[in-house]
Structure 1
Amino acid sequence: MSQTTDRVAPATGSDTAGSTIDRRTWIGLVVVVASQLMVILDGTIVTVALPRIRDDLGFSEVSQSWVMNAYVLAVGGLLLLGGRLGDLIGRRRALLYGIALFTAASLLGGLATSAWMLLIARVLQGVGAALAAPTALGLIVANFPPGPDRARAIS
């Protein structure tokens, strides 16, 4: 499969004390962690904006819950498929596609002028998150050999 294409060869020198992992791999870890932070924050941060969203886009008290549910249902329903796609097309590619879709959908959501437009954006954000999220741990395991560097990366 494409698991070997996700690996980054370790450098011969050491960047950190006792580490044989090159700087690019550590930078890649920062990208993976930042993408996971976006996915997790987006699932909860909207609750802060819900009163303003309700007022600006005309949601009712009952229908505003769909702003959260659209995202959560898309992520939860497609998470396993996102992991499988990561296996098929490569974890790195799946992460990049997921982040790209998530970012574009976030822009669409920010520019939403109606309730249905925001709900579509939230579903697309969920699809992007479901594609990006399951690849994170797999990329860390593939890029860091067993030992203290992997333990540090996972923690």
Structure 2
Amino acid sequence: MKKPYLSIRRKPKSKSELAQEPRELKNLSQKLQESWGISPSIKTIQRILKMLKMSWHCMRKGVAVKPPAQEYQDKKAQLEQLKQLYAQGKLDLYYLDEAGFCWIPCVSYGWQNIGKYLTIPRGRSQRINVLGIMNRNNYLENYISTQSINSLCSYCLY
């Protein structure tokens, strides 16, 4: 029978070391070489990660700050009031959203605990920004810019 490459005592440590670099198994292999004096193959590391109940899947980009619960509820109530005014014919209601596209797409995959998702910080690079304005009848106008789109910019468009 083949001797286990990593002992049971070392496996949890490799999981904690992986948390520092979940996308780069080559770097993890080098760290294991430096700290333990062993150099497992990428396939061996993958098998161990699967035994540790981890899987390879896309990471999610996290939001910078979650709004306070009361502020969220207040804005939700304001939106409902605007919808009622629209239904009464007292105003035109438009929805506005902005999306940015990077020249170099970033789809980050990494080893993560099954059922858990790591978030990664957002990076900066040159972007193409698209501003979409749609009314309740699905009429859409869009604007494309390489400059930043902020609330003043969107107010000036309409």
TM-score category by the smaller chain? under 0.3
TM-score by length of 1: 0.21
TM-score by length of 2: 0.21
For the pair shown, the structure with the greater C-alpha radius of gyration is: 2
Structure with higher helix content:
1
Larger RCO (alpha carbons 8 Å, 6+ apart): 1
